[in-house]
Amino acid sequence: MSYQDRWLLPAGIIDSLPEESAHLEKLRRRLLDVYATWGYELVIPPLMEYLESLLVGTGQILDLQTFKLTDQFTGRLMGIRADMTPQIARIDAHRLRREVPTRLCYLGTVLHTRPNSFSGSRSPLQVGVELFGYQGVDSDIEILSLMLETLEITGITDFHIDIGHVEIYRRLIAQAKREIKQTQQPIPTTIQTDREEENEEPLFEFEEPLFDAIKRKANTEIKTLLSQWNISQPLRQMLSELPQLHGDAQVLQAARRIFNRAPHGVHTALDELEQLQAQWHGIPLHFDLAELRGYSYHMGVIFAAYVSQHGRAIAKGGRYDIGKSFGCSRPATGFSTNLRTIVSLQPEILSTKPAAIFAPPTPTDALLATTLATTIRQLREQGEVVISRLPHQIGDAQAMGCDRELRLTATGWQVTPL
């Protein structure tokens, strides 16, 4: 490496410069304070753990995003966290071991082997909340409310929320498996697909082609595949129409008609979606009943926030149960976001520097030096930024980013505008 390249950072690894760092810290403090008022306790998990703990119950994509190294003490494989959610689930299941509902929040840097699509960063600053030990739509409502409040606090206003429920597809496909098993006629698997969604484990072989087609909303392909399945006509129709059920709240009404003969779990899922819809009337909600993000990981409602001009979610969450992989089943709902992404969407905020006061160097007169020090301390206690001028330094008050200065007047030290 040449001398000129010695200070370059790896691709996707970034510094936060003063203005961005100040804004990130301000958001961090405010968000954690708000979460605390809802009863969410802060936890700080380690940067790295044994790999099997980091990846338990999460799927292939998180494995691909995780940097791996060997522990020199034990020889075991370790990983640098790419997502903090499994760590929080481990803390709940094995460190806290509470029987009552537990609310935890967290904020810290994670590391990805590949950059995200927003800023090309591989070091997101992840913040989130998790509610453990309660399975029901009320936990979904609370977490989604906190996600909306987080967006409001961070200044994101132009967004919409996508909501789905993986149990609808899961119950329909379970019914299809039962019918197929009764006939003992296997389904052809001529279509091979790459599954790229995060947190997904391989499905039964005969289901893979349909799963992929539904995710892509490939209606013709779906109908072709289903025509080869020996299942009842009503079930075939429900599965074929599932990808078309996306849009506003009217989608839920249409789903009631289409799924009138569906298994009971489908109607329970629709009940929960209707309860969510009833909570917010001024928020743009988009329902997608064929959304299968994190299918093997999530076990109920899933949701994500999107902004215009960006194709990927800026915040996402849902219902899950990683705790059972740690030997302690704890249904949970949570959400997380990347504060770096949030800040990158508001570049105008970073262009505003905080007001500051420029103070003169310490006078040689002992009394003046004492009164100056007292005045500066009082100003700082009031929350003012006071920058003391160094003797013979380069740059005046404006060059130092100050809009006022501290001057000695007949009545003492006074703050005066430049």
The pLDDT score that the predictor gives to residue 193 is: 35
pLDDT the model gives residue 202: 38
Q: Is residue 21 over pLDDT 70?
A: yes
Q: What is the pLDDT of residue 183?
A: 74
| pLDDT at position 348 | 66
d(CA 362, CA 365): 9
DSSP string, 109-150: E---SS--SSS--SS-EEEEEEEES--SHHHHHHHHHHHHHH
Residue range 393-407: mean pLDDT, rounded: 93
Q: What are the structural domain ranges in the chain? A: 18-158+308-349, 167-267, 357-417
Which of the 8 DSSP states describes residue 374?
H
Does position 4 have pLDDT exceeding 80, yes or no?
no
Q: What are phi and psi of 327, to 5 degrees?
A: 85, 15
Name which CATH class applies to 18-158+308-349: alpha beta
For residues 71 and 78, the answer to whether their CB atoms sit within 8 Å is yes
- Residue 415 burial class via C-beta count within 10 angstroms: exposed 0-12, middle 13-18, buried 19 and up: middle
CB 91 within 8 A of CB 43: yes
Structure tokens at 96: 């806290």
CA-CA distances (angstroms) from residue 412 to 111, 368, 371, 397, 415?
53, 9, 8, 20, 10
Residues 312-341, mean pLDDT to the nearest whole number: 87
User: Is the per-residue pLDDT at 195 higher than 50?
Assistant: no
- Of 140, 391, 178, 382, the closest CA to residue 275 belongs to 140
What is the gyration radius of the CA atoms in the chain, in angstroms?
27
Say if residue 270's pLDDT is above 50. yes
d(CA 44, CA 48) in angstroms, rounded, equals 12
The pLDDT of residue 28: 94
Binned at pLDDT 50, 70 and 90, residue 119 comes out as: low
Percent share of the chain, pLDDT over 70: 89
Q: Are strands 357-359 and 67-70 parallel, antiparallel or unpaired?
A: unpaired
Residue 1, C-beta contacts closer than 8 angstroms, at least 6 positions apart: none
User: By C-alpha distance, which of 208, 213, 263, 274 is closest to 238?
Assistant: 263
pTM of the model: 0.86
Name the one residue in this structure whose structure tokens are 């087609």: 213
Q: Computed from CA positions of residues 271, 238, 334, 131, in that sequence, does the dihedral angle turn out positive or negative?
A: positive
Summarised one tens digit per residue, pLDDT across range 209-237 is 899 999 999 999 999 999 888 889 999 99
pLDDT of residue 59: 63
Q: What distance lies between CA 329 and its chain's CA centroid? A: 23
Regarding beta strands 298-307 and 315-320, do their DSSP bridges make them parallel or antiparallel, or are they unpaired? antiparallel
- The set of residues, in sequence order, having a beta carbon less than 8 Å from that of 53 and lying 6+ positions away, is 86, 87, 90
Top pLDDT among 324 and 29 is at: 29
- Give pLDDT tens digits for 38-63: 999 999 999 999 998 888 776 677 88
Tokens at residue 282, please? 């001024």
Look at residue 184 and tell me whether its pLDDT is greater than 70.
no
Contact yes or no for 173/208 (Cβ under 8 A): no
pLDDT band per the 50, 70, 90 thresholds, residue 199: very low
Mean pLDDT of the chain: 88
pLDDT score, position 53: 87
- Please report the pLDDT score of residue 16 as a whole number: 87
Max CA distance (Å), the chain:
100
- Nearest in space to 105 (alpha carbons), one of 153, 21, 23, 44: 44
Mean pLDDT of 16-42: 93
Instruction: Flag whether pLDDT at 203 surpasses 60.
Output: no
Place of tokens 């960006």: 310
